[in-house]
Structure 1
Amino acid sequence: MSRPFMPIRRLAATLLATAAAPALAAGDAAAPDAADPQASGTTTSQATSIIVTASRDNDRLPDQSGTLIFAGKLGDIAVMDQIPPVPSRNLRVAFADIPGLLVSEVSNGAWASLSYRGLGEPHESWNVLTLQDAVPAVPDMYSYPAGYFIPPLEMVERVEFIRGASGLLYGPQPGGAINYVMRGPRREAGVEGQARLTLGSWDARQGLASIAASDGTFAADGFIQYAEGDGPRRVNSDHEQTTARLRGHYMGETVTATLSLDYYQGRFGEPGGLSRARLEADNRDGSTARDRARLERFAPTLAIDWQAGENTQVTARAFYSRFERESWRQAGGSFGQVTPDANVLIRQLQVFDTAGIDLRLAHDFGANSQHSFTLGVLGHTSDAPVFVDKGASNADFTGSAGPLARAQRSGDTAAVFGELKLGFGDVQIVPGFRLERLRQRVVETLDLAQGSATGGAPGAPNGTLGNREDTQTVPLYGIGITWDASDTLRFVANASRAFKPLQYNDGVTFQAGIDSAGTFDASYAFTVEAGLQAEPVPPLRIDASLFRVEFENQVGFLAGPLPADPPRGAVGAGGARRQNVGSMRNQGIDLAVRLDLIGPEGIAKGENTLRLSTNLQLLDAEFTAGVADGFTPQYAPGHLLRSVLAYIGKDGSRAALTFTSVGDQEGADNNVADFFLPGYEVLDASVEWPVAGGFTIGAGVNNLLDEEYASRVRPGGGGGFDPGAPRHVFVSIGWKG
């Protein structure tokens, strides 16, 4: 087995031991509390993120932050301090304040599966760009944007989401950009830290420790989190993860700089999917007792912010990541059924070496600096070989029976982008552009048939080896408008064009039961959205918007059974064919209401806050052309409703009751009944309470009513319905000082 990460593991172990020795954890970084950016009377900032919540409410985007312009864009923020700490990657709870962001739950917690407005399958979040502190946190933001990495939610200050195509300031993805903004750095001189231990159902254990220190100019912080458990499924649902970060900061008067080193490793059992009958009989059952997955990431980043003049700011981000995705899956499985134990293991290793540099400049001009422009360039490159080997038995993790497939993948991208913010009193007009030049290449050097599922060497060649190279120059554009009709009423409109590049796995598939079209076309989206942000009375806030998305040449899949379509073969029941499935029209409404029943801004004017926040997306989605014409796109529920009743105490106490309701969903673009996902409702509850000496105790119950449901379904061997976790509990003890 390839072990290219061994030197990195030794380096990471040394760094983690250094960070964990004090058994402390980094607390909030900025001198003012993150939940109150105006507490000091000045704008707070983050050296590690070029997205900064300032000037407006802490859970709304500012008009401008550093070299980014947000005026004329619609987005959402989930502030983590407004709910109890979220353990175990429960994104359903963490993202409850972000309207329309669909969480397709993975039972072993191995990755994030997110989608937005029905724009494609959520598996591994391929249509949403995932960032950490405004830097891509995926194997390859263009050719393999899988959401394998989720930072510890206890160390996240807030989650920021830029809706749909208006995320052009980050990249071309049509589903928008989600950014995990981490806590830190500490700006006051001194040392602080925290620690947390969490225990839960199915032998879940999680420990977090970190420390932050500063002399006011130089600062350092680090954390380490370790988590393991058996998982909700009875067989092969275990997980074991280590996540760590070390950072050094320089915070000068005009320049701030941060060097970050991130490390993550996760090992997961993959219990496989269930048929509908097996799901209804026992939602903790499994089908693949021997499938495994390993994820590993090492990512250094250098971030520099320079206030070059009174009206000029420059940011630079240089990033690199080494990402490995390794899986072992038994051959010869079928949709939703138990894979025969005698079947051999197939090992697949994907290695991603990715690097990039992002340079941006912003300048304010005009009387009272009411106008601004930003210009930026991005260079991005990746190298991503694939190795597929056949094992000699069901316990051979080395692939000793011989290689099945080899492919070399590479990509390079250069982008230039800019925006102009024109201010005319209460009106701001923001046109923008992005020009992408992409080159992608996928070359197969070996592709053999699997042969016998129970042993033996690989079989004969599968056919002509693939050799695909694509070069594209793609212009994108957008325009946004804001109008502040009054101090409590703002109108926002945005129209933007986005682009989804071809993926490395378009045209090359290594999964049993999944066929692939020989050629693919890139996809384009055009989004129009208009909305308002209102505060009719101080305790009440309303956000509402209407949207329409036209998505051309969506890449999805048609579920089997399908007849042969040369050069593609027939696809059986439970299988699928990946291809361009057609163009869609998705339209609907987003509505979010926040009411402070008791609190600083509420009717009672108390010191503590009892807050009710509710958001609803109503979605009408349909294919309008192509082979899926007339069908409903997969993972486009008619409604997505979430409500949070949260108590936020001035002493640090927190309590939350979260309700989630998801409408019926199709799991395949041709609406095959075997892939239909019925709607469901889930209730989650959690609390954290301070006791004494900086200690807190916490507890929670997820899926309080023990709803039986599934929010995702996968085709092919080992595929099927992935059941949502039954009712489970956790308790925690924390310390901060």
Structure 2
Amino acid sequence: MLTEIENKTQSKKKGHFYLFLLTLLIPSLLFSQDETGKQNPETKTELAPKEQTPAIRVTGKKDTDREYLGDVEGTNIYSGKKSEVIKLDKTNANLALGNTRQVYAKVPGITIWENEGSGIQPGIGARGLSPNRNWEFNTRMNGYDISSDAFGYPEAYFNPPLEALEKVEIVRGAGALQYGPQFGGMVNYVVKKADPSKPVKVETKTTGGSYNTLNQYSSVSGTVGNWSYFVFYQGRSSDGWRDNSQYNLQNGFVNLSYKVSEKLKISFEMSKSTYLSQQAGGLTDEQFRVDPRQSGRTRNWFSAPWNVPALVIDYEQSPTARLNVKAFGLYGERNSVGFVSAANVADPIQARTLQYGARQIDRDTYRNFGVEARQIFNYDLLDRTHTLSFGTRYFNGNTDRFRNPNGTTGTNFDLRETNFTNVCYDGTRNCRVADLQFSTLNYAGFVENLFRITEALSITPGVRYEWIRSTASGRVNESLPSERNPFGGIIQPKERIQRQVLYGLGAQYQTTKTTNLYANYSRAYRPVIYSELFAPTATLNEVDPNLKDQTGYNADAGYRGKFGQWLQFDVGVFELRYNNRVGQLPGILPGQANFQTNVGDSLHRGAEAFVEIDPIVALTESQPYGSVSFFTSSANVNARYIRWEDPRVLTNPTSAQNFYRVGKLVENAPSQIHRYGITYHYKNVLSFTYLVSYTGAAYSDAVNTVNPTANGQIGLIPSYTVRDFTFVWNFYENFSLRGGVNNLTNEMYFTRRAGGYPGPGIMPGDGMFYFLGLSAVF
């Protein structure tokens, strides 16, 4: 039964739904059309089958800002898998500030958390999965890990500057076989490469905007003999849209490559990021209604120094065989200090000293190392050429985590610990509330084979094996173990070993040279290890110590491609099963903390569609006044619990019936996400894009609580519509001007209700923002 709030917006949703159905029908009506001959051949870099020349083929392609991955690219097989490629140099978006909704505008179904306008931390999800710092995606840069810990704490605190990227690759759930068991799939940021034709190429971009925002990006690249290099630096600072939301960040990157021979290339890369941001904190619903820009926190800060070195070896044994080896590391930190009580609790001032009280310190230190090796080659069987890809992975991650409520009483960023007054398990007073050590050891192997059954039909079976060992040790500050905290003081070292076999099958049918049908099924898995069990060190929630591993599958099917240069599309359906979901339940008693536990199983079904059409190009060969393209990127998602329970009350049959709710909507999973846009292009001189982004209402908890709690942490997240305008003007040779307005109508909205940092409470999205930037290439 629809809630009262849902009924109020039903007519708006129907309008979006009818337009979504229209986008599904357009490609179907055109399915039987012949090729017009106006399109350029697609660019695909792959190992060629026997029916073609058995070597790597590179051909030209249409100049567009959105594509999908080829059947084989590098050492990876993508045939039959849903994928998207965003070419950032062709995208009209606020790249200087990393505006996510603009960057992913043409990727249907992407859910975005927009709780800060700095673009520092990514936050995307898909198909009803949580957007929490890319939590459900395997997040990579140039093919290697950049998140905290792929299993123990897969949050991405580092986001490379978009101005430095060539493209962003997204592989949906089926990516689990090649990259790991995440339900969302894989996101890979691909950094620009050295210019092979020049010894020195310089690019510089300066962008200014509202709230004293200033962004500077510069890069130098080139090729000298067998050496090539690419170096960039980015610095950005701003006062922020909300009170107490200033930030300052710096990013740097170095790539140095040496071509040993025609077949062997060795590259060294180093990424370094450091930033400091003031956290404005969360709001209650009443505070948001009165003034979304207000802040009750003046002493909350966050920083995350991030260092990622990598060594990459590419070896082409023959025209039909390649080897790629990546060795990578991470030394990073997550540091926060502040007052983290609910939004309706003021930062207290001590009556005796008239000073603020001590702030809470939360710190993580990550020390990771990993190696991935991938091999791919062609072989002949039954008069056809097929492609085999296989690889192995080793990963060793170590996390140190501590929490101390006795930080300094000042207002600036300060991680010093003072005044140890907590009585520890051993009777001393010199301990922290939590001092924990986690480790993850992972061995994995995968194999996939692209079987070309006919000239048009291919299938790709695959299997992956994961071996994961997790350990936890340390102590939490508790005088004695108790029912409230069964861990007690000193934690006995714990070890957990998990073994998992994942498998999948993809299929693809080439309907024309530029269109194909695809389908894929893949098992998914997400382990629960001890860093999640001890989540209270970073949030205001209580955690069930008996959390279970999460298992399930992804399945999707669709039709994609292009007709001439006037139409491109990707429409499809999907089903995702997520067992033993970890969710948040409100406290049973008034004032009781939220409870994080396995709340049940969910089933996510829906349809996704991207369609872009250029009527001027369709009608005429000549465009003296430019061309206009219209696009829609839409998703309808029905993500519901098919098994739901509260383990706190299942021992009481009467209470259990009251808390058992099959059919509830999954939290943070809006049922409709629609983005519509129009882009005008005039030769290679001028272009502008007007984008409308609509996101439907969602719930913040598994119970589907509508009326918000007093602290703003639980309740409905209303639907919202945001409009953006962006332009690019190449006014003189290598000089260009880029600018625009984000949130053109100054919509007041929020995308999440946080249970802890950076809240807790409502996290408002940014209001209207102007920006203008000058770029030059030499």
Q: Which residue in 2 is equivalent to 1:304?
A: 313
Give the deviation of 1:390 after TM superposition.
3.0
Give the deviation of 1:665 after TM superposition.
0.7
Q: Which residue in 1 is equivalent to 2:226?
A: 217
Contact 2:117 2:766 in 1 (8 A): no
Q: Which residue in 2 is equivalent to 1:506?
A: 532
- Would the alpha carbon gap of residues 378 and 53 (structure 1) be closer, same or farther in structure 2, given more than 3 Å must change? farther
Q: Which residue in 1 is equivalent to 2:768?
A: 727
Q: Whole-Å Cα distance in 2 between the matches of residues 606 and 111 of structure 1?
A: 41
Give the deviation of 1:55 after TM superposition.
8.1
Aligned partner of 1:613: which letter? Answer: F
Contact 1:336 1:719 in 2 (8 A): no
Structure 1 residues 270-305: Cα deviation after superposition (integer angstroms, max 9, x where no partner): 111111111111010113221111101111111111
Aligned partner of 1:491: which letter? Answer: L
Correspondent of 2:357 among 327, 343, 360: 343
Correspondent of 1:150 among 139, 152, 159: 159
Q: SS where residue 305 of structure 2 aligns? A: strand
Give the deviation of 1:178 after TM superposition.
0.8
Give the deviation of 1:208 after TM superposition.
0.8
Q: Whole-Å Cα distance in 1 between the matches of residues 139 and 42 of structure 2?
A: 31
Contact 1:166 1:495 in 2 (8 A): no
Q: Which residue in 2 is equivalent to 1:24?
A: none
Q: Which residue in 2 is equivalent to 1:29?
A: none
- Would the alpha carbon gap of residues 358 and 602 (structure 1) be closer, same or farther in structure 2, given more than 3 Å must change? farther
Q: Whole-Å Cα distance in 1 between the matches of residues 478 and 46 of structure 2?
A: 57
Q: Which residue in 1 is equivalent to 2:385?
A: 370
Q: How does 1:637-648 map to 2 (within 5 A)?
A: 637-648=670-681
Q: Whole-Å Cα distance in 2 between the matches of residues 503 and 101 of structure 1?
A: 27
Q: Which residue in 2 is equivalent to 1:441?
A: 471
Give the deviation of 1:165 after TM superposition.
3.5
- Would the alpha carbon gap of residues 602 and 192 (structure 1) be closer, same or farther in structure 2, given more than 3 Å must change? farther
Q: Which residue in 1 is equivalent to 2:719?
A: 679
Q: Which residue in 2 is equivalent to 1:90?
A: 99
| 1:472 equivalenced with 2:480 (yes/no) | no
Structure 1 residues 461-507: Cα deviation after superposition (integer angstroms, max 9, x where no partner): 98354443210110001100001122343110000001112244321
Correspondent of 1:292 among 294, 301, 309: 301
Correspondent of 2:439 among 387, 410, 414: 410
Q: SS where residue 385 of structure 1 aligns? A: strand
Structure 1 residues 71-115: Cα deviation after superposition (integer angstroms, max 9, x where no partner): 010111222122235121211111111111111112253411211
- For structure 1, the 5+ residue unaligned runs are 1-36, 46-51, 450-459, 564-570
- Would the alpha carbon gap of residues 653 and 246 (structure 1) be closer, same or farther in structure 2, given more than 3 Å must change? farther
Q: Which residue in 1 is equivalent to 2:738?
A: 698
| 1:710 equivalenced with 2:735 (yes/no) | no
Aligned partner of 1:676: which letter? Answer: L
Q: Which residue in 1 is equivalent to 2:623?
A: 606
Contact 1:554 1:581 in 2 (8 A): yes
- Would the alpha carbon gap of residues 169 and 650 (structure 1) be closer, same or farther in structure 2, given more than 3 Å must change? farther
Contact 1:390 1:401 in 2 (8 A): no
What TM-score comes out, normalization by structure 1 length? 0.87
What TM-score comes out, normalization by structure 2 length? 0.82
Contact 2:583 2:597 in 1 (8 A): yes
| 1:80 equivalenced with 2:88 (yes/no) | yes
Aligned partner of 2:318: which letter? Answer: G
Q: Whole-Å Cα distance in 2 between the matches of residues 325 and 666 of structure 1?
A: 28
635-644 vs 213-222, which deviates more?
Answer: 213-222
Give the deviation of 1:322 after TM superposition.
0.4
Q: Which residue in 1 is equivalent to 2:28?
A: none
Contact 1:416 1:435 in 2 (8 A): yes
Q: Whole-Å Cα distance in 1 between the matches of residues 515 and 344 of structure 2?
A: 51
Contact 1:261 1:300 in 2 (8 A): yes
Q: How does 1:147-226 map to 2 (within 5 A)?
A: 147-215=156-224, 217-226=226-235
Q: Which residue in 2 is equivalent to 1:635?
A: 668
Q: Whole-Å Cα distance in 2 between the matches of residues 279 and 485 of structure 1?
A: 52
Give the deviation of 1:129 after TM superposition.
1.5
CA RMSD of aligned residues (A): 2.5
Q: Whole-Å Cα distance in 2 between the matches of residues 422 and 461 of structure 1?
A: 53
- Would the alpha carbon gap of residues 598 and 160 (structure 1) be closer, same or farther in structure 2, given more than 3 Å must change? farther
Structure 1 residues 108-158: Cα deviation after superposition (integer angstroms, max 9, x where no partner): 534112111112x32222111111111111111121111211111111111
| 1:555 equivalenced with 2:582 (yes/no) | yes
Q: How does 1:564-575 map to 2 (within 5 A)?
A: 572=591, 575=593
Give the deviation of 1:42 after TM superposition.
8.8
Give the deviation of 1:654 after TM superposition.
3.5
- Would the alpha carbon gap of residues 214 and 716 (structure 1) be closer, same or farther in structure 2, given more than 3 Å must change? closer
523-532 vs 340-349, which deviates more?
Answer: 340-349
Give the deviation of 1:647 after TM superposition.
3.3
Q: Whole-Å Cα distance in 1 between the matches of residues 619 and 249 of structure 2?
A: 42
72-81 vs 704-713, which deviates more?
Answer: 72-81
The count of residues paired between Structure 1 and Structure 2 equals: 672
- Would the alpha carbon gap of residues 461 and 663 (structure 1) be closer, same or farther in structure 2, given more than 3 Å must change? closer
Contact 2:639 2:666 in 1 (8 A): yes
Q: Whole-Å Cα distance in 2 between the matches of residues 161 and 40 of structure 1?
A: 19
Q: How does 1:376-395 map to 2 (within 5 A)?
A: 376-391=391-406, 393-395=408-410
Q: Whole-Å Cα distance in 2 between the matches of residues 669 and 390 of structure 1?
A: 30
- Would the alpha carbon gap of residues 580 and 41 (structure 1) be closer, same or farther in structure 2, given more than 3 Å must change? closer
Contact 1:189 1:216 in 2 (8 A): no
Contact 1:636 1:666 in 2 (8 A): yes
| 1:320 equivalenced with 2:320 (yes/no) | no
Aligned partner of 2:635: which letter? Answer: Q
- Would the alpha carbon gap of residues 275 and 192 (structure 1) be closer, same or farther in structure 2, given more than 3 Å must change? same
Q: Whole-Å Cα distance in 1 between the matches of residues 375 and 735 of structure 2?
A: 44
- For structure 2, the 5+ residue unaligned runs are 1-38, 48-56, 350-355, 421-431, 480-484, 646-660, 709-714
| 1:432 equivalenced with 2:462 (yes/no) | yes
Q: Whole-Å Cα distance in 2 between the matches of residues 448 and 598 of structure 1?
A: 71
Task: Indicate the percent of aligned positions where both proteins have the same amino acid.
Answer: 24
Larger Rg over CA atoms: 2
Q: SS where residue 174 of structure 1 aligns? A: coil
Q: Whole-Å Cα distance in 2 between the matches of residues 597 and 193 of structure 1?
A: 38
Aligned partner of 1:67: which letter? Answer: T
Give the deviation of 1:190 after TM superposition.
2.7
Q: Which residue in 1 is equivalent to 2:703?
A: 670
Q: Which residue in 1 is equivalent to 2:374?
A: 360
Give the deviation of 1:268 after TM superposition.
0.8
Correspondent of 2:250 among 221, 242, 246: 242
- Would the alpha carbon gap of residues 534 and 688 (structure 1) be closer, same or farther in structure 2, given more than 3 Å must change? closer
Q: SS where residue 663 of structure 2 aligns? A: coil
- Would the alpha carbon gap of residues 534 and 446 (structure 1) be closer, same or farther in structure 2, given more than 3 Å must change? closer
Q: SS where residue 177 of structure 2 aligns? A: helix
Q: Which residue in 1 is equivalent to 2:488?
A: 463
Q: Whole-Å Cα distance in 1 between the matches of residues 395 and 458 of structure 2?
A: 32
Q: SS where residue 399 of structure 1 aligns? A: coil
Give the deviation of 1:736 after TM superposition.
0.9
Structure 1 residues 358-395: Cα deviation after superposition (integer angstroms, max 9, x where no partner): 00111101168630111100000011111222335421
Q: Which residue in 2 is equivalent to 1:15?
A: none
Q: Which residue in 2 is equivalent to 1:594?
A: 612
- Would the alpha carbon gap of residues 294 and 383 (structure 1) be closer, same or farther in structure 2, given more than 3 Å must change? same
Contact 2:539 2:755 in 1 (8 A): no
249-258 vs 677-686, which deviates more?
Answer: 249-258
Contact 2:299 2:339 in 1 (8 A): yes
Correspondent of 1:688 among 704, 728, 731: 728
Structure 1 residues 38-95: Cα deviation after superposition (integer angstroms, max 9, x where no partner): 89999599xxxxxx99887661110001210000101112221222351212111111
Q: Which residue in 1 is equivalent to 2:36?
A: none
- Would the alpha carbon gap of residues 468 and 339 (structure 1) be closer, same or farther in structure 2, given more than 3 Å must change? farther
